[in-house]
Amino acid sequence: MNVILFGASGMVGTGALLECLADARVARALAVGRRPLGVQHEKLDELIVDDFFDYAAVEQRLVGYDACLFCLGVSSAGKSEAEYRHVTYDLTLAAAQTLARLNPTMTFCYVSGAGTDSAERSRQMWARVKGATENALARLPFKAVYLFRPGYIQPVKGARSGTTLYRAFYAVLSPFYPILQWALPGYVTTTETVGRAMIEAALHGAGQRVVASRAINGLATRPPRGES
């Protein structure tokens, strides 16, 4: 299959990109971003865009894809609800609406987060906005939409957060990951596992629209079903 990735320079997106490049079932991968990734691979293409809210000038580059792995996201820290909604809901829908029109048989995998509120009534602003984003994506005419809600994600294979505070957080917790994995198997995962799970969902479905950490881990360990 051919895959479009958003957020390939981020922690989760790096994991998804590495798995796409390593998986023989992925024929082409197009990374959409604001700057080059600095990665060379025979099946990787890059599309540099200045405006994540307008794809009119590059639509021809977005045609012919089977799946989108949307890993682009920002922290809500220090942002008003209007600001966070603009860079979360509006930005995601601008891309998704374009892709749904250009590739109606596409599967769209969106990385949200544990605690997202589908009812859009949470006291936590980010949870309401993520819930609204998920709900809007589910209404688009894709072949399928899967909403990934991982809990704690351990960065592996060189993936790292772009936020200094988060990098410090992971540096502290990394030595304890085996313990977390043993004690909370349904709440922890890795960047590698999330990437594998999104590819599997895009190829063969996830069995449920909302995919939490336990289901993510299960998808990533499914027996291979052949190339697509």
Query: Which of 78-83's residues contact partners 24+ apart within 8 Å by CB, and which partners?
Result: 81/125, 81/128, 81/129
In which residue are the tokens 């949307």 written?
A: 70
**Cα–Cα separations (whole angstroms), residue 113 to 22, 54, 206:** 25, 26, 17
Question: Binning pLDDT at 50, 70 and 90, where does residue 48 land?
Answer: very high
pLDDT recorded at residue 228? 47
Structure confidence by residue, pLDDT tens digits, 54-111: 999 999 999 999 999 999 988 898 999 999 999 999 999 999 999 999 999 999 999 9
Q: Taking the CA atoms of the chain, what radius of gyration do you get in angstroms?
A: 17
pTM value is: 0.92
Q: Which residue stretches of 1-152 are H helix?
A: 11-22, 81-85, 91-102, 125-138
Question: Binning pLDDT at 50, 70 and 90, where does residue 178 land?
Answer: confident
Q: Of 17-21, 141-145, 164-168, which range is least confident?
A: 164-168
Q: Hey, what domains does the chain have and what are their CATH numbers? A: 2-220 (3.40.50.720)
Q: What number is the average pLDDT over the span 37-54?
A: 96
Q: What number is the average pLDDT over the span 183-202?
A: 91
Average pLDDT, the chain: 92
